[in-house]
Chains A and B, each alone.
Chain A
Amino acid sequence: MIPADLRYTKEHEWVRVEGDAATVGITDHAADQLGDIVFVELPAVGTVLRQFATFGVVESVKAVSDLFAPVGGEVLEANAALGATPEVVNSDPYGGGWMLRLRLADPRQLDGLLDAAAYEALVAEG
């Protein structure tokens, strides 16, 4: 359910690091709690984000929720497909529902994130 190879924020974002590229999205738990996602607002390519800064919003039918950057860095790509099909965040949160690719500013920032076991414990607490 919770991929073991990712790192997580307490606000339910995930990050996957490959070299100096970081891919960011929200977790299955977050998507499920929000309900049917109908809108995602993402930053422009070239925006430089600090770790834990808000980088956009995700909206379900009922609720609006801020998105927080698990790591800092320059935005290399935002998932344009979510403009037309935001529901992919619900159906495939760790795959097609990705939101940003960042150039990882500082790998040490990963130490400030939760691993899968710690994130699973956080979700279990409710």
Chain B
Amino acid sequence: MTEEPRSTPLEERHETLGARMVDFAGWRMPIQYAGIIEEHRAVRERAGLFDLCHMGELFVEGPEAGAALAHAVTTDPRALAVGRAQYSMICAPDGGILDDLIVYRLADDRFLVVANASNAAVVSDALAERIDGRRAVLDDRSLATALVAIQGPAARQILAPLAGLDLDAIHYYGIAEGSVAGIPALVARTGYTGEDGFEVFVEAGAATALWDALAAAGAGAGLVPVGLGARDTLRLEAGMPLYGNELNRSTTPFEAGLGRVVKLAKDGGFVGRDALAKAADAGPRKLLVGLAVRGRGIARHGHPVFAGGRATGAVTSGTMSPTLGIPIAMAYVAPGDAPPGTMLDVEIREARVAAEVVPLPFYARPR
């Protein structure tokens, strides 16, 4: 990672907005504009605009695209209706998680796989290798594609006047092809905030036009730009895992509480299937839990977790929850210490601080 970080097509916009920029996964990204808490609250109460151009967009096309993907990932994309999406994982042969993904079905023979920026190259290489020999081709359009998300309770009403398609026909985890502000776009009702919202994919050259149109349309409704800082606190409150924190190569989907995305019985098998079947039989070595810190202190990534005097695991993500006003965290602990209500201790700067296992998510939007 000694290469210069890439700039997204929206970097000039971030500079104009006074964003604080950081290097993240090989990209120069805005971490905050007005402030993490203010941006976080805007998304919970109104709407936020996110530059997600760093994400990987991998198109898989061909008569055997569905079968090829079914071999490559843990879910069965063949079961998706056109215009629907599924949360999925791509695993190593030993069952370790290479990345978590969203797989969208755009047509009978055309899929879009969205990967994390930090893993886009790994996923692209793995998909290329795994679909080899089938009648399907991989088109890695990560650099050619811009992704802008609009998330929050006001997202639909802001986007609707610009959308050259019926947003109400796109349900949660749906996607449709159309236009936004006259720009050809794929519009998906997905996100990483726990709110209703949309992710809009356009050609990279149209990124600024899309951003400007959304910003202008949302100005009166309190839409604000949101950086990676609030993206992280929003996803943590929503109990959504982050690769590198909750997910990594030495963790199985079962341990992350995501066994539902592992389709062991699907036709044709898939890479990692045998190892994952064994892991399912053996049971998890650790389990991902939510923690509400009851004492004084903020649990952070890497802090050890104890049950009585016994080491039981470690915190994977932690912050002060802007919505709940208490410190929250996710942690891996021994399965016996995972039931909600269990009292544990987090070691914060040599002090043991009480924390209670609570159900995930910490926050669910009112419906």
Contact = CB atoms under 8 A, between A and B. Distances in A.
Interface of A: 35-36, 38-39, 41, 57, 59-62, 64, 83
Given A35-B36, A36-B37, A38-B320, A61 B233 contact: yes
B26 interface: no
B229 interface: yes
Interface of B: 31-32, 35-38, 229, 232-233, 296-298, 300, 319-320, 322, 327, 349
B320 A39 contact: yes
A83 B296 CA distance: 9
B212 to A, nearest CB: 27
Given A41-B297, A57-B349, A61-B319, A36 B31 contact: no
A38 B327 CA distance: 9
B300 A61 contact: no
A36 B36 contact: yes
In the complex, which of the residues A59, A61, A62 has the most CB atoms of chain B within 10 Å of its own CB atom?
A: A61
A4 to B, nearest CB: 27
B298 A38 contact: yes
Nearest to A39: B298
11 contacts: A35-B229, A36-B38, A38-B298, A38-B320, A39-B297, A39-B320, A41-B297, A41-B349, A61-B36, A61-B320, A64-B298
A95 B300 CA distance: 29
A36 B35 contact: yes
Given A36-B36, A41-B296, A41-B297, 11 more contacts: A35-B32, A35-B36, A36-B35, A36-B37, A38-B37, A39-B320, A41-B349, A59-B298, A61-B229, A61-B233, A61-B319
A60 B229 CA distance: 11
A59 B32 contact: no
A93 to B, nearest CB: 15
A60 B233 CA distance: 12
- A-B CB proximity, top 3 nearest: A38-B320, A36-B37, A61-B36
A64 B36 contact: no
A61 B37 contact: yes
B229 A62 contact: yes
Given A57-B349, A59-B320, A64 B31 contact: no
Contacts of A35: 32, 35-36, 229
Contact of B31 (A57, A59, A62): A62
Nearest to B35: A36
Nearest to A64: B300
A21 B146 CA distance: 57
A95 B60 CA distance: 59
A117 B207 CA distance: 44
Nearest to A62: B229
Contacts of B232: 62
Contacts of B37: 36, 38, 61
Contacts of A36: 35-38
Contacts of A59: 298, 320
B265 to A, nearest CB: 42
Contacts of B31: 62
A126 to B, nearest CB: 13
B17 to A, nearest CB: 16
Contacts of B229: 35, 61-62
B297 A62 contact: no
A17 to B, nearest CB: 29
Contacts of A39: 297-298, 320, 327
Contacts of B319: 61-62
A78 to B, nearest CB: 13
A41 B38 CA distance: 23
Contacts of A38: 37, 298, 320
A12 B38 CA distance: 25
A38 B323 CA distance: 13
A85 B297 CA distance: 14
A113 B330 CA distance: 41
A41 B322 CA distance: 19
Contacts of B38: 36
Contacts of B349: 41, 57
A43 B239 CA distance: 34
A69 B32 CA distance: 29
Contacts of B32: 35
A14 B259 CA distance: 52
B42 to A, nearest CB: 13
A65 to B, nearest CB: 12
